[in-house]
Amino acid sequence: MKTFEPALDALVGREITAVRRVGKMPVVEFGDLALLIHLMSAGRLRLFDKRASLKDRASRVLLRLEDGRELRLREFGTKQRAWAKLLSTDAVGEDEAVARLGPEAWPAPPLEEFAVLIDQPRHLHPLLRHQGDIAGIGRSWVDEILWEARLSPFKKGSELDGEEVARLHAALHVLGDAIEHYEEAIGEQLPDKVPMPLQVHKREGEPCPRCGTAIEAVFFSEHQTNYCPKEQTGGRVLKDRRLSRLLK
Ligand SMILES: [Zn+2]
């Protein structure tokens, strides 16, 4: 918990009135109080049928429901990065994690607005993931969007012509498709390992589902990017920036 006032037990006896999303963050509303959650990369928010065992070291926040079920924020791995804040529902929009967000990537903003957002001299991969410019796109989905749009992760936003901007804008439907996929495939029971409907992310060496060319990987600081060299980089295999730095 990143907040202590009001205390978490202010939720005792309240009803969950809404669950929504802002950028990459889920928000669980309890009338005029709301829990703003950042899952980071290893967190999961999941409803369990039974109470957690005290041995469940992955639990970060537990909310017991009247019917015996339990809503748990859990995080895998040793790093404790996921967080939650209990705020007044009216104040969620003013929280620093929310106020700094750009427009939502899904549903996609109008094309003209999107064109202005990405007209920046920065590589598309970090640009699309920068929540302050456009909110809701993470590491996996940026690869999928760029593959769908047939654009290089190292092309700059300001270098795109009108047709490329339109292609990138149209490719944002990948996010809507993913939500639909999860709603159908998973329903209410979220497993520990969620099968993601990915075509290229972390699929290096596998054939591109569209053209059959082997998917390539490039490491960009600690992040991995995957792409189809034939369709996205004009046949060029991008230099591994992590490796080239080590070799210097
Ligand atoms: Zn391809």
Note the pLDDT tens digit of each residue in 170-199: 999 999 999 898 888 887 777 767 778 899
- Evaluate whether 122 touches 156 at the Cβ level (below 8 Å): yes
Q: What's residue 243's pLDDT?
A: 52
Ligand 1 centre distance from Cα of residue 143 (Å):
13
**178: CA distance to ligand 1 center in Å?**
20
Q: Kindly give the distance from the C-alpha atom of residue 16 to the centroid of ligand 1, in angstroms, as a whole number.
A: 45
**If you ran DSSP here, which 8-state letter would residue 213 be given?**
P
Task: State the first-to-last Cα distance of the chain, in angstroms, to the nearest integer.
Answer: 42
Residue 97 is encoded by which pair of tokens? 């994690």
Q: How far is the CA of 237 from the centre of ligand 1 (A)?
A: 13
* 105 Cα–ligand 1 center, Å: 24
Gap from CA of 121 to ligand 1 centroid (Å): 26
Taking the CA atoms of 179, 181, 184 and 185 in sequence, report the sign of the dihedral they define.
negative
Is CATH 3.40.47.10 the classification given to domain 8-99?
A: no
Residue in this structure with the two tokens 């924020």, named with its chain if needed: 73
pLDDT at 29: 98
pLDDT class of 6 with cuts at 50, 70, 90: very high
DSSP state of 11: G
What residues have CB less than 8 Å from 55, skipping those under 6 apart?
none
Virtual torsion, Cα 85, 91, 95, 98, nearest 10 deg: 100
Reported as type and span, the H/E element at residue 140 is helix 139-149
Buried b (16+ CB within 10 A) or exposed e, 83-105: bbbbbebeebeebebbeebebbb
Residues whose CB is less than 8 angstroms from the CB of residue 194 and which lie 6 or more positions away in sequence, other chains included: 182, 186
CA of 88 to the centre of ligand 1 (A): 48
Q: What separation in Å is there between the alpha carbon of 202 and the centre of ligand 1?
A: 15
Q: How far is the CA of 11 from the centre of ligand 1 (A)?
A: 50
| Average pLDDT for 7-22 | 96
| Domain residue ranges of the chain, discontinuous segments joined by + | 8-99, 111-247
Q: 194 C-alpha to center of ligand 1: Å?
A: 25
Residue 158 confidence (pLDDT) above 50: yes
pLDDT in tens, 211-230: 999 999 998 767 789 999 99
- 98's CB contacts (< 8 A; 6+ apart) are 22, 23, 25, 36, 92
111-247 under CATH 1.10.8.50, yes or no:
yes
Q: How many angstroms separate the alpha carbon of residue 36 from the centre of ligand 1?
A: 39
| Residue with the two structure tokens 């939500």 | 179
